[in-house]
Structure 1
Amino acid sequence: MISIEGLSKTFKANKKNITAVDGMTLDIKEGEIFGVIGYSGAGKSTFVRLLNRLEEPTGGRIVIDDQEITALNSKQLRLARQEMGMIFQHFNLLWSRTVKDNIAFPLEIAGFPKMEREARVQELIDLVGLSGRENAYPSQLSGGQKQRVGIARALANNPKVLLCDEATSALDPETTNSILDLLVDINQKLGLTIILITHEMHVIRKICNQVAVMEQGKIVEQGDVLDVFLQPKQQVTKKFVEQIMGTNEDDSVALLIDTYDEGKIVQLHFLGETTNQALISHVARKFAIDINILQGKITQTQRGAYGTLFVQLSGDDREIENAVNFIHNETSVEVEVIRDAN
């Protein structure tokens, strides 16, 4: 669906060249929700604006649905942009226009007849949950309602791709979740490919299928969201995962080792359906050991749940070893020994 090869963007500032996007190569499948995450200055917003050439690339190629966007002239680009909707952090609504007139604006530019515009606008108002607010002005709307207008406007021309640049950053957590649920609903109903730019791992975790982590203009890590959560490789990715888990794992492990100075400490990794297994009680019944649950958390992603659990195993060394081997060999739960029995 989307193929990006060697994409780069260099700005000149204070007589110096600043590289915002540095040789990015990326493939995004049709119909998936693809997240791009990075801290401020990583180049992620520049990247998404390069996709529809709101920023002109310094180098590289962008191909969307077999059309090379980077090779289009101005007239061709205007037509191609009709198939790429975009929503922004600060909504970018026309404050002198009502909800329905904001949504109709791109249809007016595209030359749709009035009756077609009105029918399409009403369809979109129903889709984004704004029925009854058609004649309200932006100043009369909440932040979440404004973003729903922005989403409806971005969908007006039936785009194939929806670009979301920090679309929930200005919203409170509850409203953020409602907008994310709406994006998932749109993705499923319309089969729309969504590229979502954010600095919040909660957003990636909740709705994305794939994620790319950006730092200093480059993709430093990429993969299935669940895989990246389970085994983050780069330090920047580990920091983002800590946003969800609520603790620095290295610090947490060290604290557990210092606090519990007896027995074997192991970390269990649960994935998908294994999060619902009664593993602890089963192992406790099967082996003559004591099991003390020290710390744990389960988190949901689009591909399923994953969780980690730290437990202390006490008792006969051979029985402990048998229990660990049982978990490792006879279940789908991953087990990692943090500290051997003393």
Structure 2
Amino acid sequence: MIQLKEVVKIYQSKSGNVKAVDTVDLDIKQGEIFGIIGYSGAGKSSLIRLLNGLEKPTSGSIEVAGQRIDKIGGRELRKARQEISMIFQHFNLLWSRTVRENIAFPLEIVGVKKESRDKRVAELIKLVGLEGREDAYPAQLSGGQKQRVGIARALANNPKVLLCDEATSALDPQTTDSILELLVDINERLGLTIVLITHEMHVIRKICHQVAVMEEGRVVEQGEVLQVFKKPQQSITKRFVKQVTEPEDTKATVEHLLELYPKGRVVQLTFVGDAAEQPLITNIIRHFEVEVNILQGKISQTQSGSYGTLFIHMDGNDLEVERAVSYIQNQQVEVEVILNA
């Protein structure tokens, strides 16, 4: 559905050239929810603007829904954009138009007759859950409702691709989750390919099938979300993963443990997929003569399954502790000894 080959984007400025996108290769399949994550200045906003032709690459090729976006312009590009819609962080609604009129706007532009237009708008209002708010103006809507209008408007022309530019950054956590759930529903119902950029790993974890991590214009890591969570390779990816998988006070807990437990081991367990559902701690206590204290932990759900970390303290005979650790490893759970006192 979307293919980028050796894409480079250089901006010229008085202080010199800035390489915002540096030799990026991506292959996004039809029907995927593909996340691009990075901190400010990583190049992700420039990259998403390249996908719908708002920017042209300095070099490389970009194909979206069968069209070479980097090669076309004018009327041909405007036609191609009907299949590539976009939603924005700050909604970009027409404040003098009602919900119904905002959603109808792209249909008016392409000359859809009023009867067909009204029918399509009614379908979209129902799809995004805005029944009863059709005649409200943007100033009368909550942030989440405004973004639902933006999503409905983006879907008006039945696009094949939906680009999301930090679409939940201006929303509170609860509203963010409701918008992400709506995007998943749209993806499943319509088979729509969704590409979203974000600096929040929670967004990636919640809805994406694949993720690309950007740093200084380059894609430094990419893959299936669950696998990236399981074995992040780059330091920036590890920082992002820790946002949602590891409690913030891990270091403090381990230091405090040195005072509470002068002997024994502090062990970090990493669960992926079915392993997260096992009664692991119960089985350890039943089968081995060790004391186990659960310190802290967190399990996160991804589109491909569960991922979690658990910190425990184990104490007992050295041989029994070793046997317990070996047992854990045989359950397809990764084990890292954090403290061995």
TM-score w.r.t. length of structure 2: 0.94
Q: Give the residue type in structure 2 aligned to 1:90.
A: H
Q: Which residue of 2 aligns with 1:188?
A: 188
1:208 aligns with 2:208: yes
Q: Is the 8 A contact 2:213 2:221 kept in 1?
A: yes
Cα distance, 1:275 vs structure 2:
1.8
Cα distance, 1:264 vs structure 2:
2.8
Q: Give the residue type in structure 2 aligned to 1:100.
A: R
1:149-195: CA deviation from partner (whole Å, max 9, x where unpaired): 10000000100000000101111111111111110110010000000
Alpha-carbon distance in structure 2 between the residues aligned to 1:238 and 1:252: 19
Q: Which residue of 2 aligns with 1:52?
A: 52
Alpha-carbon distance in structure 1 between the residues aligned to 2:263 and 2:147: 54
Alpha-carbon distance in structure 2 between the residues aligned to 1:72 and 1:209: 30
Q: Which residue of 1 aligns with 2:280?
A: 279
Show the 5 A alignment for 1:330-341: 331-340=331-340
Q: Which residue of 1 aligns with 2:307?
A: 306
Give the match's secondary structure for 1:182. helix
Q: Which residue of 2 aligns with 1:267?
A: 268
1:131-159: CA deviation from partner (whole Å, max 9, x where unpaired): 11111111111111111110000000100
1:63-84: CA deviation from partner (whole Å, max 9, x where unpaired): 1233222122322111110001
Alpha-carbon distance in structure 2 between the residues aligned to 1:137 and 1:96: 7
Cα distance, 1:28 vs structure 2:
0.7
What RMSD over aligned residues (CA atoms) do the two structures have, in Å?
1.8
Alpha-carbon distance in structure 2 between the residues aligned to 1:75 and 1:297: 51
Cα distance, 1:5 vs structure 2:
0.6
Q: Which residue of 1 aligns with 2:176?
A: 176
Alpha-carbon distance in structure 2 between the residues aligned to 1:246 and 1:324: 21
Q: Is the 8 A contact 2:99 2:149 kept in 1?
A: yes
Alpha-carbon distance in structure 1 between the residues aligned to 2:255 and 2:194: 41
Alpha-carbon distance in structure 1 between the residues aligned to 2:290 and 2:108: 72
Q: Is the 8 A contact 2:161 2:193 kept in 1?
A: yes
Q: Give the residue type in structure 2 aligned to 1:94.
A: L
Flag the 1:15–1:226 CA change in 2: closer, same or farther, 3 A.
Answer: same
Alpha-carbon distance in structure 2 between the residues aligned to 1:47 and 1:168: 18
Show the 5 A alignment for 1:29-108: 29-108=29-108
Q: Which residue of 2 aligns with 1:294?
A: 295
Identity among equivalent pairs (%): 62
Alpha-carbon distance in structure 2 between the residues aligned to 1:249 and 1:74: 54
Q: Give the residue type in structure 2 aligned to 1:296.
A: G
Alpha-carbon distance in structure 2 between the residues aligned to 1:307 and 1:261: 27
Moved over 4 A (4+): 246-250
Give the match's secondary structure for 1:70. coil
Q: Give the residue type in structure 2 aligned to 1:281.
A: T
Q: Which residue of 1 aligns with 2:328?
A: 327
Alpha-carbon distance in structure 1 between the residues aligned to 2:3 and 2:104: 31
Q: Give the residue type in structure 2 aligned to 1:27.
A: D
Give the match's secondary structure for 1:71. coil
Structure 1, unpaired ranges of 5+: none
Alpha-carbon distance in structure 2 between the residues aligned to 1:232 and 1:254: 22
Cα distance, 1:243 vs structure 2:
2.1
Structure 2, unpaired ranges of 5+: none
Q: Give the residue type in structure 1 aligned to 2:14.
A: N
Q: Which moved more, 1:166-175 or 1:230-239?
A: 230-239
Q: Give the residue type in structure 2 aligned to 1:161.
A: V
1:33-52: CA deviation from partner (whole Å, max 9, x where unpaired): 10011111111111101101
Q: Is the 8 A contact 2:246 2:309 kept in 1?
A: no
Give the match's secondary structure for 2:133. coil
Give the match's secondary structure for 2:276. helix
Q: Which moved more, 1:240-249 or 1:18-27?
A: 240-249
Alpha-carbon distance in structure 2 between the residues aligned to 1:153 and 1:5: 30
Give the match's secondary structure for 2:135. coil
Alpha-carbon distance in structure 1 between the residues aligned to 2:290 and 2:256: 19
Q: Give the residue type in structure 2 aligned to 1:232.
A: P
Alpha-carbon distance in structure 1 between the residues aligned to 2:247 and 2:13: 38
1:184-236: CA deviation from partner (whole Å, max 9, x where unpaired): 11001000000011111111111111111111111111111122222222222
